[in-house]
Amino acid sequence: MTRSRGLDALITDGVFLAHEAQLAMADRLGDHDHWDVDLAAGEFRITGPQPATFPVQLLGSAAPGPRSWLWGWGNPTQFAPQVLTAALTTRAFGEQHDVPELVQAEVPFGDGGPEAGYELGWSLSIAARLASGTWFSYSGEVGGGTRVWMLLEGMLFDPPSVPRMLRVFGEALQTIEVNDHRRAVGTWAQLRGVPWDGRTMTLSDGSLSVDFDDQGRIRDLRGSSARA
């Protein structure tokens, strides 16, 4: 998928915090039997060993038929305004910062197979998280290969730890192409309020050093415990 420069920058800035949010949500929700969403009521629910209900924001959906993403505000179903606040905020952000993928009601994802639709949804969800300030997202299939993407409100991050961030920095870059690793790490530290001197960051249980190659890509990660 070819991305605009604006979307590319947003993915760089948000990819690590977005992946951290996904891991935190998986920890808290665990395995669940079923999920459903009531957009009229603005609620997302899961059932299973750890049932939970969250206020929900609808971002949009990626469908294999038209091979495109459709923003919730562009859907002819005309969903309730209260579940479109984040999507509309994202559109306004796109207008302000000239990011066409956030302004077009429908965004094509080409011929890359089902994974292309997922990658586009993941990309746009990262942008929406930055624009809205809501970082926890859920996506699920709703029939015919269509996948809906939502933001879940009311969840908070735990303090970042060395083991968690070794995993986040190692895994997130495998989910999507990120061109500027140094900027991505620095922005994550800024968003999380973590001290970062360009090489080492101080976390809740120790420190983590990040080594970059000549092209600014992460080459090595080293963590140390404060108790060592």
pLDDT tens-digit readout, 91-100: 999 999 999 9
Helix (H, G, I), strand (E, B) or coil at 73: helix
d(CA 199, CA 29): 33
Residue 46 lies in a domain: yes
Helix (H, G, I), strand (E, B) or coil at 2: coil
Query: Both 13 and 117 in a single domain?
Result: yes
Task: Pick the closest to residue 32 from 51, 52, 48 (CA basis).
Answer: 48
109-137: string of b/e by CB count within 10 Å (b at 16+)? beeeeeebbbbbbbbbbbbbbbbbebbbb
Query: Both 106 and 148 in a single domain?
Result: yes
The count of structural domains within the chain is: 2
* pLDDT at 227 (0 to 100): 65
Residue 210 lies in domain: 162-225
pLDDT band for 32, please (50, 70, 90 cuts).
confident
Listed in sequence order, the DSSP H helices in the chain are 5-29, 85-97, 100-103, 114-132, 162-172, 181-192
More confident residue, 22 or 32: 22
Could you read off the pLDDT of 127-170 as tens digits, one per residue? 999 999 999 999 999 988 899 999 999 999 999 999 999 999 99
Query: Both 61 and 136 in a single domain?
Result: yes
Residue 19 lies in a domain: yes
d(CA 110, CA 148): 18
Residue 157 lies in a domain: no
pTM, whole model, 2 decimals?
0.94
d(CA 209, CA 166): 10
pLDDT band for 50, please (50, 70, 90 cuts).
confident
- Choose one of 118, 152, 186: the last residue of a domain: 152
Query: Both 145 and 189 in a single domain?
Result: no
Torsion, Cα 196 124 111 6, to 10 degrees, reads -70
Mean pLDDT across 31-52: 89
Residue 201 lies in a domain: yes
